[in-house]
Structure 1
């Protein structure tokens, strides 16, 4: 395992200063790579159009993964047993996608501004 990573392209420091040439980062460790399921089966789709108050997912039987994409406005989500509010929770921008595979029954969403929709496709690992 390497202790140093050398970048060959120019980098910008936190100060905004551009650095030309190699930049070394000591004690670098590669991020662990999680194996990704190669075979998924679709379990269903849901669009949630009313997000003025916190709402959970309607999870189809057997689904273990949700691909969640807000449309129109950003949303916030929480999965710790407390409902999100328009200003508290993890933000998820309109047009972004969240692949969620923890406890699908625990996650809930709320819009940050009026007009958000949530598109959710549910999957399970095949086999």
Structure 2
């Protein structure tokens, strides 16, 4: 009888230990799930960063192209403005913004040389 009581007490202790271990495993399983989610989120963030890093050189190239085209566009706009202004004047009273045209041309050449 005494032996049975000892065995039953040992069973209770082992049963408690078993349930404690089950609870620990459940907590660890939840921690693993959270870590997996964090790793996936980190991977997604890393992918976004990599995409932006790949876009930066492309955008720099586009910016350089636009910087080169801007002086040309300014010169063209000035020429169009001169033509339009000349159309409003009499034949003997033409408007020719030579000084402005020379200045725009000089700026265009400087910016082209800087971009090379």
Higher RCO structure (Cα 8 Å, ≥6 apart): 1
Query: Shared topology, TM-score over 0.5?
Result: no
TM-score normalized by the length of structure 1:
0.15
Structure that is richer in helix per residue = 2
Larger Rg: 2
Structure that is richer in strand per residue = 1
TM-score normalized by the length of structure 2:
0.16
